Amino acid sequence: MVTLAALLAGVVVALSAGATGAWAQADGEGVQATLNLDGEPVPGVTISVFTEDGQPVGSAETDQDGYWTVPVPESASYRVELDESTLPDGVTVVGGNVREPFVRAGSVGNVLFGLEAGAAPPGGEQPPGEPTPGQPSPGAEEPAAPEEEAPEDPEEDVEVVAGPGRWDRVVSHIYSGIHFGVIIALAALGLSMIFGTTGLINFAHGELVTFGAFAALLVNVTGIHFFGYEMRFHLLVAAPVAVALGILFGYLQDRFFWGWLRRRGTGLIAIMIISIGVALVLRNLYLYQLGPGRNLYAQYAVQAPERIGPLTVQMKTLITDGVGLLVLVAVGLALVMTRLGKAVRAVADNPSLAAASGINVDRIIRLVWATGTGLAALSGVFLAMHESANYLMGFQMLLLIFAAVVLGGLGTAFGAVVGGVVVGILIQVSTLWLPSEFKYVVALALLIVVLLVRPQGILGRRVRVG
Partner 1 sequence: MNWDLIFTQTLSQAFGPGVIVFALAAIGLNVQFGYTGLLNFGQAAFAGVGAYGLAFGVATLGWPFWPSVLAGLAAAVVLAVLLGVSTLRLRADYLAIATVAAAEALRRVARSVELQEWLGGSDGLRGFANTFREYGFNLGLGRGDNLRFGPFFFTATNLWVMIVGWALVAVSLLVVWLAMRSPWGRVLKAIREDEDAVRSLGKNAFWYKIQSLLLGGVIGALAGLIQAVRIGNVSPDQYHTTFTFYVYAVLILGGAARVFGPVAGAVLFWGVYNFLSQFLREVTRLEYLPSGLLSATQVDPLVFVLLGVGIIALLIFRPQGIFGDRREISLNVR
Binding status of residue 352 toward partner 1 by CB under 8 A: no
Binding status of residue 137 toward partner 1 by CB under 8 A: no
28: alpha, beta or left, given left = phi > 0 and alpha = psi -120 to 50? left
Binding status of residue 300 toward partner 1 by CB under 8 A: no
**Stretches 27-35, 145-153, 218-226, 238-246: which one binds partner 1 (CB under 8 A)?**
145-153
Shortest separation between residue 369's beta carbon and partner 1, angstroms: 18
In 252-411 the beta strands, taken as DSSP E runs, fall at 306-308, 311-313
Q: Which of 122, 135, 227, 433 binds partner 1 (CB under 8 A)?
A: 135
- For the chain, give me the number of helices (H) and strands (E)? 13, 15
Q: Which amino acid is at 114?
A: G
**Inter-axis angle of helices 393-408 and 413-430, nearest 10:** 120
Binding status of residue 441 toward partner 1 by CB under 8 A: yes
Shortest separation between residue 215's beta carbon and partner 1, angstroms: 19
Which residues make Cβ contacts (< 8 Å) with residue 78, sequence separation at least 6? 31, 49, 50, 51, 52, 57, 72, 100, 101, 102, 103
Partners of residue 37 on adjacent β-strands: 40
Binding status of residue 261 toward partner 1 by CB under 8 A: yes
Shortest separation between residue 449's beta carbon and partner 1, angstroms: 8
Whether the CB-CB separation of 220 and 235 falls below 8 Å is answered with yes
Q: Which of 90, 122, 127, 138 binds partner 1 (CB under 8 A)?
A: 138
For 149, phi and psi rounded to 5 degrees? -85, 165
Largest CA distance in the chain: 87
For 41, phi and psi rounded to 5 degrees? -65, 145
Binding status of residue 306 toward partner 1 by CB under 8 A: no
Binding status of residue 287 toward partner 1 by CB under 8 A: yes
Identify residues 172-211 at the interface with partner 1 (CB under 8 A): 199, 201, 203
Cα–Cα distance for residue pair 199/70, rounded to 1 Å:
49
Tell me if residue 102 falls in helix, strand or coil.
strand
| Residue closer to partner 1 (CB basis): 9 or 201 | 201
Binding status of residue 13 toward partner 1 by CB under 8 A: no
Shortest separation between residue 142's beta carbon and partner 1, angstroms: 8
Number of chain residues interacting with partner 1 (CB under 8 A): 67
Identify residues 74-133 at the interface with partner 1 (CB under 8 A): 77, 102, 133
**Stretches 213-221, 225-233, 285-293, 313-321: which one binds partner 1 (CB under 8 A)?**
285-293
Q: Which amino acid is at 204?
A: A
Terminal CA-CA length for the chain: 71
Q: Which of 23, 85, 263, 269 binds partner 1 (CB under 8 A)?
A: 269
**Stretches 19-27, 241-249, 261-269, 320-328: which one binds partner 1 (CB under 8 A)?**
261-269
The interface mask with partner 1, positions 374-413, x = CB under 8 A, is ---------------------x--xx--xx-xx---x---
Name the strand (E) or helix (H) holding 117: strand 115-117
| Residue closer to partner 1 (CB basis): 213 or 235 | 213
**Stretches 121-129, 170-178, 344-352, 445-453: which one binds partner 1 (CB under 8 A)?**
445-453
What DSSP string runs through 382-435? HHHHHS-B-TTHHHHHHHHHHHHHHHH-TT-HHHHHHHHHHHHHHHHHHTTTS-
Shortest separation between residue 49's beta carbon and partner 1, angstroms: 17
Q: Which of 1, 141, 227, 304 binds partner 1 (CB under 8 A)?
A: 141
DSSP assignment letter at 130: S
Shortest separation between residue 189's beta carbon and partner 1, angstroms: 17
C-alpha atoms less than 13 angstroms from C-alpha of 313 in its C-beta half-sphere: 21
Q: Which of 24, 236, 270, 298 binds partner 1 (CB under 8 A)?
A: 270
Q: Which amino acid is at 438?
A: F
110: alpha, beta or left, given left = phi > 0 and alpha = psi -120 to 50? beta
Shortest separation between residue 442's beta carbon and partner 1, angstroms: 9
DSSP assignment letter at 265: T
C-alpha atoms less than 13 angstroms from C-alpha of 438 in its C-beta half-sphere: 11
Cα–Cα distance for residue pair 285/115, rounded to 1 Å:
41
Binding status of residue 435 toward partner 1 by CB under 8 A: yes
| Residue closer to partner 1 (CB basis): 8 or 276 | 276
Identify residues 15-74 at the interface with partner 1 (CB under 8 A): none
| Residue closer to partner 1 (CB basis): 138 or 309 | 138
Please calculate the CA angle 206-103-67 and round it to the nearest 5 degrees. Answer: 130
Q: Which amino acid is at 309?
A: G
| Residue closer to partner 1 (CB basis): 13 or 184 | 184
| Residue closer to partner 1 (CB basis): 146 or 305 | 146
**Binding residues vs partner 1 (CB under 8 A):** 77, 102, 133-136, 138-149, 151-154, 199, 201, 203, 261, 264, 266-270, 272-274, 276-278, 280-281, 284-285, 287-288, 291, 395, 398-399, 402-403, 405-406, 410, 435, 437-438, 440-441, 443-444, 447-448, 451-452, 455, 465-466
